Amino acid sequence: MRPAKVEQEASVSVSSIHPAKPRILFDHTAFVMYRHGGVSRYYTEMIKRLPDQLPVELFMGLHMNRYGLEHERSRMARFRGWPRPDVRFTHRLALLASNLLFEGFARNTAADIYHATSYTTHLRRFRGRRVYTFYDMTAQQLPQFFPHRQSDLRAKRQSAAAAAGLICISEATRRDVIEILGVPEALTEVIHLANSLTVSPDALNPEPEPYVLFVGMRQTYKNFTTVLEAWAESAMLRRSCRLVCFGQPPTPAEQERIAASGLTDRVRFVSGDDARLATYYAHATVFVYPSRAEGFGIPLLEAMHYGCPVVASRIPCFEEVVGDAVAYFNPLNASELAVVLCDLLANSRQREALARAGRFCEQRYSWGRVANETIAYYQRVMS
């Protein structure tokens, strides 16, 4: 008899009229699975701006997220969550336990809209309206890099089929969602993201010589190998600057490739907190972002905030988000990347012009605007 009771509670919790201020429910998945990073940063920045305008119910579950959203609990209509340490091999267990606990939390929900933080089908009996955010369709665009692409596609199809609204973080992502999933354009809304990295950098340069900066994950479609190829074939690049990679330590395969290319003393790997990352952006000669596909590209805005000139792959979402505020190259052509970098390294006026254009571009995006546009979209979904 318990499922029938759940269905009854859920069915009476949603208003029979469309409220001016819909109540929003968020789940735990992004916070349980990610210590930090783009998806959890997006939900943190947006959710903490909503309670002043809408009632929010947030279930963070057994989370390891470090952005501190739990400190906003007093501003929320309902909150439940328990921080846990980031211990290897515990993530799946924490997610399974959180899934069960979320069903109990949602049993008493009064939410009008459930905004899922991943492509999931939690709360099958939820009687309100569902909203999903789609970040990209990279697994479908570059299937050779994603062995589990079929399950990813299945989850996205199920989410789109259940949704009353789909938020896409760029027009490029919306076009891909419409083409690949076959959803009507009227179901979608584009809401661009923003930069969160604004801490003050250290005035002292962290490196003893000029460097080009690479930030984040380096595997597969992130296209780090093209950057290494550019360094390997350009004596000028090797002479004029180092390549500094901020993020995870090098893999054995990366170390082997770097050594085979004669780049051992020209490629350096570093890591650290936001303050250290800000310092590396602020002192870099150039920031390079070579991805073959993305949904938005927050690191572009991070670099621009600190006045760092940007060289980026010419892909649709980058052209949409930053326009002509960066120098572009073909992501499949290491020789072209080497030429673009060498030209920029040799031309201080061009670097200064890109830095100015980048600062102006970054200022067009804000999380306050993201929150306001999302609230307006929730209201349209209810109407």
> What is the pLDDT at residue 2?
36
Average pLDDT rounded to a whole number, residues 347-351: 98
Those residues with Cβ within 8 angstroms of residue 244's Cβ, 6 or more apart along the chain or in another chain: 207, 211, 212, 213, 214, 267, 268, 269, 270, 280, 284
129 beta partners = 113
Whole-number pLDDT of residue 37: 80
318: Cβ contacts below 8 Å, ≥ 6 apart: 289, 294, 297, 300, 312, 326, 328
DSSP assignment of 286-330, as one string?
EEEE--S--SS-HHHHHHHHTT--EEEE--HHHHHHHTTSSEEE-
CATH architecture under which domain 2-194+366-382 falls: 3-Layer(aba) Sandwich (3.40)
Residue 200 structure tokens: 């003050």
DSSP annotation of 166 reads E
Query: What phi and psi, each to the nearest 5 degrees, are found at residue 77?
Result: -65, -40
- CA separation for the pair 249, 360 (Å, rounded): 33
What is the chain's Cα-based Rg?
22
Percentage of residues in the chain with pLDDT exceeding 70?
A: 95
pLDDT value, residue 36: 83
| 65-89 mean pLDDT | 94
**H-run or E-run covering 40:** helix 38-47
Whether the CB-CB separation of 375 and 54 falls below 8 Å is answered with yes
Whether 19 shows a pLDDT value over 80: the answer reads: no
Mean pLDDT of the chain: 93
With a cut of 60, say whether residue 17 has pLDDT above it.
no
Q: How is 195-250 classified by DSSP, letter by letter?
A: ----PPPPSS-SSSS-EEEEES--SGGG-HHHHHHHHHH-HHHHHH-EEEEESSPP
Helix (H) or strand (E) holding 129: strand 129-134
Architecture in CATH for domain 211-362? 3-Layer(aba) Sandwich (3.40)
- Whether the per-residue pLDDT at 283 is higher than 50: the answer is yes
**Which residues of the chain form CATH 3.40.50.2000?**
2-194+366-382, 211-362
pLDDT of residue 18: 62
Residue 125's Cβ-count burial label (10 Å; 0-12, 13-18, 19+) is middle
Instruction: Supply 192's token pair.
Output: 């661009």
Whether the CB-CB separation of 86 and 35 falls below 8 Å is answered with: yes
Which of 303, 345, 307, 309 shows the shortest CA–CA distance to 327? 309
Q: Residue 20 has what pLDDT?
A: 73
Looking at the predicted structure, is the pLDDT value of residue 21 above 50? yes
Q: What is the DSSP string of 85-125?
A: ---TT-HHHHHHHHHHHHHHHHTT---SEEEESSS----TT
CA 14, 17, 20, 22: dihedral to nearest 10 degrees? Answer: 10
Over residues 235-244, the pLDDT tens digits come to 999 999 999 9
Name the pLDDT band for 121 (thresholds 50, 70, 90). confident
Question: For position 316, what pLDDT does the model report?
Answer: 97
The DSSP bridge pattern shows strands 188-190 and 165-168 to be parallel
Region 121-149: mean pLDDT is 92
Which tokens in the block code for residue 256? 């082997």
- Residue 35's pLDDT band, with cuts at 50, 70 and 90, is confident
The β-bridge relationship of strands 165-168 and 129-134 is: parallel
Asked whether 47 and 58 are in contact (CB, 8 A), the reply is yes
For the stretch 44-59, pLDDT in tens is 999 999 999 999 999 9
- Please state the φ and ψ torsions of residue 29, each to the nearest 5 degrees: -55, -45
Q: How many CA atoms lie within 13 Å of 15's alpha carbon, on the beta-carbon side?
A: 13
How many CA atoms within 13 Å lie on the side-chain side of 283? 22
The partner residues of 287 in beta bridges, in order of sequence, read 213, 310
Say whether pLDDT at 83 is over 60.
yes
Choose the weakest-confidence range: 95-99, 118-122, 203-207, 216-220: 118-122
Question: Residue 311 corresponds to which amino acid?
Answer: V
